[in-house]
Structures are given as structure tokens and as C-alpha cells.
Amino acid sequence: MAHVSIESLEKKYSPKAPAAVESLDLEIKEGEFLTLLGPSGCGKTTTLRCVAGLERPTGGRVSIGGKVVDDPAHRTHIAPDKRDIGMVFQSYALWPHMSVASNVAYPLKMRKIGIDERARRVREALDMVGLSEYSSRMATDLSGGQQQRVALARALVATPQLLLFDEPLSNLDARLRQDMRSELREMHKRVGTTSIYVTHDQEEAVSLSTRIVLLNKGAIEQVGSPREIYWHPVSHFVADFVGYDNFIEGTVVGADQYGVKVLLEGTEMRLVCPPRNDVHEGQRVDVAVRSSSVILGPPAADKPNAFEGLITDVMYLGDDFIYELQLGPHKVTVSIRTAEVANIWPTGAPKVGDTISGAISPDSLACLPALHANVPAMA
Ligand SMILES: Nc1ncnc2c1ncn2[C@@H]1O[C@H](COP(=O)(O)OP(=O)(O)OP(=O)(O)O)[C@@H](O)[C@H]1O
């Protein structure tokens, strides 16, 4: 297991192009499972490939296990195969002319490990990914999920100090992806190898990681535990990325250690949001709300963030109903499980034109610096 240190990492693919990664600082602790998350083109793969040694940084420094592996200012570059890392890619990158066992044995052969020791370790690695029975099959005679397991066994077999994953599940179908996600989590619990994982899938990141780094245009937007990223986004970009789907403009009318009170624009409605010490009274903000976090039910004026809204649209999606509500000048979408509808409205589901009520738990809101802070408030 290794500690990884990334200091002021910069990667420019050409002198004139904007940097793919810029001034990136990151410390990855021993045994962590850290995910680089973000939309296409934000620099996740470039960062990972710089750690792997497959790309050469144009600035900064990368160290693995206390050893500097890249430092362009001092012309240091250690080749990927000398970094003691295991890699799993989106394309399984198996040798098609080799059996499963030979594919897995390959890194050991490169390290000149003796044949008996090699056979033992291959058996162990295949056991770990549940493929012991397939060892003599040709690698290409396996399903996509099985091939990815072979790739994982190959990454694990040499017990590297660091594992790197580049979107390893994105070629698999949804069901298999879910199974593999659980297996990866189990594997990490068992072997505890420091891991860096790249994905653009927030669910994958939240379910696998001990820490998530959200990247935007080659720079870090937020670093935190899955819970912090999911429930306490610091910016619009992060909130949007992790599934907040309503953004309501307002003005801070109170902020203390208990919470931030926001008066929603064009209404008398105040929403209490979790505390945030970088906002002040009078500041324009946006309140981010997940449609699935709104609780509909009978009027509950005594509850925090109780509201009433006019239904302007209803969509049925099988498992869920989506209601579009008008709250003053704001349109807010609310989703509710179909199975819940009869519990909440025993006399029948509400329709367009009805007014319904509910409440939003303060913990499920995020008060964010306004995206359009310079736009004057509408009269
Ligand atoms: N070999 C390359 N040559 C030139 N530009 C590149 C190269 N590889 C990546 N880039 C550019 O660097 C930026 C970051 O790309 P990168 O692949 O790291 O992003 P990403 O977040 O991994 O995206 P994706 O999820 O689509 O793989 C992008 O603008 C991309 O076009």
C-alpha cells in the first residue's frame, strides 16, 4: 500500500492548448479508495495517466510511496512498469491469444517470478475474482464481465502498492455494473490496496469511494467523502453533477450556526438550509433541492420548510410520479414513489390545477453562491 502525493500537477498536451490539468494538489492516503469524478474532458484520465506514468506531466510532481516518480523540472520520470502499480482499463486489454491463467500470470512473468510461485498466485487471484474454473479458457471466450474480472485479477496478482482504474465498468450492462461495483468494494475491503478510480458516474463514485475529487476543467472543484459531496455540494457545478435538479434563487436573510435562512425571490417563503459560514445577509444565493428529497403530505405549517404549490404538470414514470409545482415565480419538480401516492392521497392522486403541500428537510438543501450573482434582482 502506498501514499500518493500529487503536487501542482500540470499537463498541457500542446503549448498553445489550455492545460488539461492545472495546479492540481492531492494527497491520497494509504489504503484509500479515491475517485476522480467529473464530466467528459475535465481531466480525470489525464490525471490518472500521469500517476501511471503513461503521460508525462508538464509541471508539478508526483510521488508514490514517498518516491518521486515524475518531476519534469528535475527531468525525473520513472517508467510505468517500474512504479509497482496495477491498472484496469475500460477496454479489458487482455492478450487474445492467451488463456485466462496466462493473462493473469503475465505481470509475474515480467518480474521473473518462478513457475510454482506464479501458479499459486494466479490461482489466488482467480479465486479472488471468482474465475478459478475458467483458468484454461482463452480470454476472448469469456463474457465482458468475466473479461473485466480477468483484468482485475491481472492487476491484483503482483500485489502492487497502488491500483489505478479508468472507467473499468463502463463497457458492462447496468446489472453487471452493479454486481462488479459490489465486488470491487469487497475486494478493496479485503486487500486494502490504495486505489485511484476514474468515473463520470456519480452513483459509482458514491458507492465505491472513501473520498471523491470532483474535477472541473482540469482543476479541483470539491474534495470530500461521498456524503459530503452528495449532501453538501459547495457549488452549482457540484450540485448539478450529483443530481440536485432544482435551483431556486433567493436572498440570505439570516445566517448562524443553526442554518442559513433564504427568502425565495418573488415570494414570502423562507427556506432554512444547513449552516454555511461563507455567506452573509443580503447575499444572492441559489437553493439547490433534489426532487426526490421533497416530502409531500398534508399541510404542516409547524414543520420547517413547509410549502404549498400549484401543480402545473404531472408525469408518470412507472416507479415514480413527477409533479411540476409553481412556487411563486419558481417551477420546482418533485418526485414521489408511485407506491406512496395512495398513502398520501387516499381519495385519489392530485391533478394539474390542484394545490398540494409538503415540506423539505433542511438537511436535504444546499445553499449555493448564486450562479448569476451579478444579475440585479427583478423588481
Ligand atoms: N492525447 C491527447 N492529446 C491532446 N489533447 C488531449 C489528449 N488526451 C486528452 N486531451 C484533452 O485533455 C482534456 C482532458 O481530457 P481527459 O481525457 O483527461 O478528460 P476526462 O475527464 O478523462 O474525459 P472522459 O471522461 O471523456 O475520458 C480534454 O480537453 C481532452 O480533449
Q: Could you tell me if residue 377 is inside a domain?
A: no
In angstroms, what is the span from residue 276 Cα to ligand 1's centroid?
34
One domain, residues 308 and 273:
yes
Residue 210 sits in the same domain as residue 322: no
Q: Which of 216, 236, 256 is the last residue before a domain boundary?
A: 236
- Pair 217, 140 in one domain: yes
Query: From ligand 1's centre to the CA of 47, what distance in Å?
Result: 10
C-alpha cell at 218: 482540469
Question: Do β-strands 365-369 and 284-289 pair in parallel, antiparallel, or remain unpaired?
Answer: antiparallel
Shared domain for 209 and 298, answered yes or no, is no
Cβ neighbourhood burial of 372 (10 Å; 0-12, 13-18, 19+): exposed
Q: Is residue 217 part of a domain?
A: yes
Residue 374 lies in a domain: no
Instruction: Say yes or no: 295 and 217 in one domain.
Output: no
Please name the residues in contact with 250: beta carbons below 8 A apart, sequence gap of 6 or more.
262, 263, 264, 265, 271, 284, 285, 286, 287
> What pTM was computed for the model?
0.89
In a domain, 378, yes or no: no
> Of all protein residues, whose CA lies closest to atom 4 belonging to ligand 1?
13
What's the CA-to-centroid distance between 277 and ligand 1, angstroms?
35
Same domain, 283 and 230: no
Q: Give how many domains the chain has, as a whole number.
A: 2
Q: Which domain holds residue 223?
A: 4-236
Statement to judge: residues 250 and 206 lie in one domain = no
Q: Are residues 159 and 184 in the same domain?
A: yes
Residue 266 lies in a domain: yes
Decide: 248 and 326 in contact? Cβ < 8 Å: no
| Nearest to 25, CA basis, from 57, 55, 67 | 57
Atom of ligand 1 nearest to the CA of 46: 18
Q: What is the CATH number of the domain that holds 328?
A: 2.40.50.140
| pLDDT at residue number 328 | 92
Give the residue from 195, 216, 236 where a domain finishes: 236
Do 62 and 70 form a contact (C-beta atoms < 8 A)?
A: yes
Tell me if 207 sits within 8 A of 181, measured CB to CB: yes
Task: For a ligand 1 pocket test, name from 16, 21, 24, 42 the mutation site with the most ligand atoms within 8 angstroms of its C-beta.
Answer: 42
Q: Report CA 346 to chain centroid distance, whole Å.
A: 39
Specify the ligand 1 atom closest to the Cα of 42: 21
Tell me, yes or no, whether 212 and 344 share the same domain.
no
Any domain includes 375? no
- CA gap 277, 255 in Å, rounded: 8
Pocket of ligand 1, beta carbon within 6 A: 13, 20, 38, 40-46, 200
Q: How far is the CA of 56 from the centre of ligand 1 (A)?
A: 14
Instruction: Give dist(CA 152, CA 126) in Å, integer.
Output: 9
Report the phi/psi class of residue 332: left, alpha or beta, with left for phi > 0 and alpha for psi in -120 to 50.
beta
Compute, in angstroms, the gap from residue 28 CA to the centroid of ligand 1. 22
Contacts of 166 (CB under 8 A, 6+ apart): 45, 48, 49, 87, 88, 89, 90, 198
pLDDT computed for residue 373 by the predictor: 56
Cα–ligand 1 centroid distance for 45 (angstroms): 7
In whole angstroms, give the CA distance from residue 42 to residue 242.
15
Please give the helix or strand (H or E) that residue 204 lies within, else none.
Answer: helix 202-208
Shortest-distance Cα residue to atom 26 of ligand 1: 40
Q: How many CA atoms, within 13 angstroms, populate the side-chain half-sphere of residue 200?
A: 10
What atom of ligand 1 comes closest to residue 49's alpha carbon?
18
Q: Which residue's CA lies nearest to atom 29 of ligand 1?
A: 41
Asked whether residue 44 is domain-assigned, the answer is yes
What pLDDT is attached to residue 144?
A: 86
Do 252 and 226 lie in one domain? The reply is no
Question: How is residue 379 written as a grid cell?
Answer: 423588481
Residue whose Cα lies nearest atom 11 of ligand 1: it is 20
- Residue 154 has φ and ψ, to the nearest 5°, of -65, -35
283 & 158 share domain: no
Last residue of a domain, one of 181, 206, 236: 236
pLDDT, tens digit only, all 379 positions of the chain: 789 999 999 999 998 889 999 999 999 999 999 999 999 999 999 999 999 999 999 999 999 999 999 999 999 999 998 999 999 988 878 888 899 999 999 989 888 889 999 999 999 999 888 888 999 999 889 988 889 889 989 998 988 999 999 998 888 888 888 888 888 898 899 889 999 999 999 999 999 999 999 999 999 999 999 999 999 999 999 999 999 999 999 999 999 999 999 999 999 999 999 999 889 999 999 999 999 999 998 877 788 899 999 999 999 999 999 999 999 999 999 999 999 999 999 988 899 999 999 999 999 999 999 887 554 444 3
156 alpha carbon – ligand 1 mean position (Å):
27
Residue 8 shares a structural domain with residue 138: yes
> Which residue puts its alpha carbon closest to atom 8 of ligand 1?
46
- How many angstroms separate the alpha carbon of residue 24 from the centre of ligand 1? 15
Give the number of the atom of ligand 1 that is nearest the alpha carbon of residue 45.
Answer: 22
- How distant, in Å, are the alpha carbons of 45, 68, 247, 269 from that of 372? 31, 43, 12, 21
